[in-house]
């Protein structure tokens, strides 16, 4: 039960919106275009991977999981943003607010874990090419994808349950969408359990995957420097889009964490809003475009399909 001065809170007010008639319609059109591009790019590549047996390999199956997560994350945010932009009253019901927190946080966790699994897959392919098929079996692929999706969903259910049980002393969230820490900061009850669980969750879902990614790429770089030119070319062609996607997502997440935890009043309001939306808007579009352009197998099949349509 959510309470404020012993009274149930039925809604939250999003305080980061500012109303400018001309600007809000322009922003609405931009976000609609973004959302359509995200849907088309990710759905197209998912269909391409599913329809072509030559792409039924672990690397592309993990990619398909990544594209599905981009669809999930953007759908959890974009329709909500479009409604809020056109609305004169920027409020959201408490149940929907916690549902959005669940969607946004699971999207971020699945994204990071998926990138970690992909780095592990590339590590096996480049460092142990002769044993790759034995080490990366179909059963192992299924288990890795299941963990990538199930762990964040279960962990965020606990996170949201802890936040929804807090007693609150306010209902104004200084963001354009609901955030868990923004609600925790409104609490007038003890948040020790929330903070401890948040720290444990961060270590398991972010720090450990980051250490895994760092370790695998150190090993990949070692093989590249000591290997043949062909090995280096293979590593560059498959790892460059993954690293670019990881850096892009990490940048957006870092700013999101900084904005939630520290005073960002010195940052212009419009810039703060755009950067807070970065990892939820740019990543879902950046990822399919990057992989579609950089990975030769996908690029060749896409060219063949598009030229056939013409």
pLDDT 10s digit of each residue in the chain, 310 long? 444 443 456 788 887 776 666 777 888 888 899 899 999 989 988 988 888 888 888 988 999 999 999 999 999 888 988 888 888 778 888 899 999 999 999 999 999 999 999 999 988 988 888 888 999 999 999 999 999 999 999 999 999 999 988 888 888 888 888 888 888 888 888 888 988 998 888 888 888 888 898 898 888 888 777 766 776 776 777 677 778 888 888 877 777 777 666 666 666 666 767 777 787 888 888 888 888 776 767 777 777 766 655 4
Which secondary structure element, helix H or strand E, spans residue 229, and what is its range? Answer: helix 229-261
7-8 and 3-4 beta bridge pairing:
antiparallel
Domain residues of the chain, as ranges?
A: 3-309
129 vs 146: CA distance, rounded Å: 25
Q: Domain spanning 3-309: which superfamily?
A: Rhodopsin 7-helix transmembrane proteins (1.20.1070.10)
CA distances 61 to 10, 49, 105, Å, are 42, 8, 23
Task: Identify the CA nearest to 275 among candidates 244, 247, 261, 254.
Answer: 254
Q: Give the 3-state DSSP-derived string for 72-116, with helices as H, strands as E and coil as C.
A: HHHHHHHHHHHHHHHCCCCEEEHHHHHHHHHHHHHHHHHHHHHHH
Phi, psi of 13 (to 5 degrees): -105, 130
């Amino acid at each position: 039960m959510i309470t404020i001065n012993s009274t149930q809170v039925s809604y939250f007010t999003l305080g980061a919106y500012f109303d400018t008639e001309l600007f809000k319609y322009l922003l609405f059109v931009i976000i609609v275009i973004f959302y359509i591009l995200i849907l088309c790019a990710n759905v197209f590549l998912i269909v391409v991977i599913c329809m072509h047996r030559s792409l039924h390999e672990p690397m592309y199956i993990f990619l398909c999981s990544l594209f599905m997560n981009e669809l999930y994350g953007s759908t959890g945010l974009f329709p909500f943003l479009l409604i809020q932009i056109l609305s004169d009253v920027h409020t959201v019901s408490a149940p929907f607010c916690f549902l959005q927190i669940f969607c946004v946080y699971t999207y971020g966790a699945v994204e990071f874990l998926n990138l970690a699994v992909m780095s592990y897959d590339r590590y096996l392919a480049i460092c142990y090419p002769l044993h790759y098929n034995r080490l990366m079996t179909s059963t192992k692929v299924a288990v890795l994808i299941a963990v990538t999706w199930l762990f964040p969903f279960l962990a965020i259910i606990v996170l949201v349950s802890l936040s929804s049980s807090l007693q609150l002393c306010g209902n104004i969230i200084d963001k354009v969408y609901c955030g868990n820490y923004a609600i925790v900061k409104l609490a007038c009850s003890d948040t020790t359990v929330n903070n401890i669980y948040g720290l444990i969750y961060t270590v398991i879902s972010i720090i450990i995957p980051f250490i895994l990614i760092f370790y695998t790429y150190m090993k990949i770089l070692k093989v590249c420097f000591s290997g043949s030119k062909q090995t280096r070319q293979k590593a560059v062609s498959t790892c460059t889009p993954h690293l670019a996607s990881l850096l892009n997502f990490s940048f957006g997440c870092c700013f999101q964490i900084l904005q939630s935890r520290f005073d960002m009043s010195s940052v212009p309001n419009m810039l703060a809003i755009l950067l807070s939306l970065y990892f939820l808007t740019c990543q879902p579009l950046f990822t399919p475009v990057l992989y579609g352009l950089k990975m030769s197998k996908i690029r060749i099949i896409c060219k063949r399909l598009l030229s056939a349509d013409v």
